[in-house]
Structure 1
Amino acid sequence: MQLILVATLLCLIIGSCSASISGPFIFWGHSRVSSQQTQALVESSSRELPLTQLFTEAKAIVVFVRNTTNRLEGTRYPKFQNLVKSGAWTYLPQRSLAAEPFGLNANIEVVSLSGHGEEDDSEILLAYNEAVNTYGRGEVLGILGSREEEAHFLAKREAAPGGEEEEKAKAAEGSEETEASFIYVAEGNKAVLSLNGPLELRVTNDTLKLEEHIKQITFDDQRAKGYGRLSITFMHSGEKCTLRFKFSLIRGSWTLRNVEVEYRELKSVLVARGDEYTLPSAPLGFSYRCSAESVNFLNPARNETIQSLLLSDFQVQPWLNGRPEYGEVYDCIGFVSAPILAGLFVVTLLLGILGLGISAMLSMHTPNRFESSRSKQLTFTVQE
């Protein structure tokens, strides 16, 4: 029985040592990480030696594995950002390392991150500080990488009973926090907005095309107060841009009137250009569809950084009330259009011609006297 247990442990150790993590990487904490730079034009043996020395000289190594390779934002990981900047650190953009720490250090710990910003930020700080308290400051090497295969989870950090299942469930989910699409459905199917292209946010001397957005979309239902807000947070070049579309509810009909924009540290309210006949609106329970025209949200204040937002070829419906599909559609094309105007003009012209003809016919009168051979008088001419 003991031999079986030892063999099982050896298999786990071999499996964890043979595991690999994917880049890019961030190294921090140890004094020698500053000498680790990207070396692309040297032999692999020359690149392997500095890493091997770093892994063996560190008293302990904590490897944090992310479930995604998306850009790491400092605003979402403020604790980790302060932790890295407080000492020596380096960034290695390559996909793989010339030498991996597994098997080169006896005190190595692998922590699997769930993919949620606040939880991962606290998890990194907690696990690294525990290792520093045990082995001393400047002696613990921290490595942040991404998951490449499932094998490295064999040596992941021990958790309390019951917590291991939660970590496995989070790791199994592995869903990205953002996605690029043009269909935005609020949680619980409370509201929906769909487009055929990205939203265009105009700032000073630049136009941002908002494509990638955070999956968590909310709808603030304030029906008792006569409004609702559809909130969508986009990611553009690693920076958040939050749009809150405000719908007013009056006498059983909703209208999209403005949108609140938060970008960087700026906040503005952009007002939809139009009147009650041209703004997106429909009765409650109906959707609004417009492919022929665009809705332009403008900043009423001049000389502002955030200037306008363009919404084109879209369909929207607030207060969806959990339904999985749009309601009946109100289209933005009104009764009066160019073909209808042309038809009305031709009909008016024909009616005018007909009226003139009828008027001319009515103005004709028959003569009341007629000449005949009997009524003619004989005239004689006498010559002398």
Structure 2
Amino acid sequence: FIYEQYITQGLSNFQTSSQSFIVLALISIQWILLGYSLAFGTDAGGHGLIGGLQWIGLNGVGAAPNPDYAPTIPASVFMIYQAMFAIITPVLITGAFADRMKFSTFIVFTLIWTTIVYDPIAHWVWGIGGWLRELGALDFAGGLVVHISAGLSALAAAIIIGKRIGFKSDNMAPHNVPMTILGGILLWFGWFGFNAGSALSAGSLAANAFIVTNTSAAAEALTWMAISWKHGGKPNALGIVTGGVAGLAAITPASGYVGPLSAMIIGGAAGILCYFAMHFKNHKTNIDDSLDVFACHGVGSAWGVLATGIFASVAINHAGANGLVFGSFGLIISQFIAVVVTGVYSFVMTVIILKILNATMGLRVRDDEEIEGLDITQHGEKAYV
């Protein structure tokens, strides 16, 4: 994700990559002290809204498996695997406000956002007793918990923080497309652990998730290439990579519930939806979501969650449910509710957090600092010497 961030839009290289790195450190500590218990602890109050504090500081989380979550591996392994989801989600949001936000405010925002947005949503969807889980909503590897929450929060952040100086007037083209392609390759490969790993065992379910993840990414990359070729006259390499990443986001919630042919449809349709969402944002609005987090992750995964309600099959995963294609209408209703609730909660809470931080710490760097570049003004370093 560092590659996806700091290469694609000619951004301050050290500053954006350092945001990713500090989130890795910050949320690793937050997850151990508090986050894991809030997300996966026994439901507090019985309303399905938040976990309790019995696992605070990893108290009681050790080598013995937790049969509720992962009966085949140590509870501590499940905990640290889930930590990676908690880490990557706020990293995604940073793409929406690159080159604008004060580093000190960013640290506070990340800590607050993870605690009051990510952790509750993770409990709703994945926690025992979580209300969306009890409703029947399915999210195999983080479409709701990771990508929709990040996508809608990114949209809120881009609106509240505002656009970069020179947006749509200065040249802000990508400055290193070969490195973008390398980043796309790393993301595509790494996503297999993200999705297939969510099976929590090496078996047929993991194999299926592996296959459909690759299939959806391929279908969306090809679809994006075809559309951009038709629109722009040439197949754009950056667009092909973007399409592949959006296809990965789209299949994430469905990867443990659908087969390869369904994955082709999910990826192909996501290519159309995400391409035109990005096109609309770029040409019809002044929203400076620098890395198109909303268009790729938010829109792509919203479609993926709904598509799970259409194409899911108990033949793929007996712990899931049948979708519309296989004779059940109820699942798509649960999926729709989950998309709306997760998206609205993420957007509104992000707006509130940013408004409070703007009034207390300030969100943006000064204009002269932004013009000079955040590598120097925030960190006192240059990416290239």
The TM-score by the shorter chain falls in which range? under 0.3
TM-score, normalization by structure 2? 0.20
- Between 1 and 2, higher relative CO (CA 8 Å, sep ≥ 6) is seen in 2
TM-score, normalization by structure 1? 0.20
Greater fraction of residues in helix: 2
**The structure with more radius of gyration:** 1
Greater fraction of residues in strand: 1
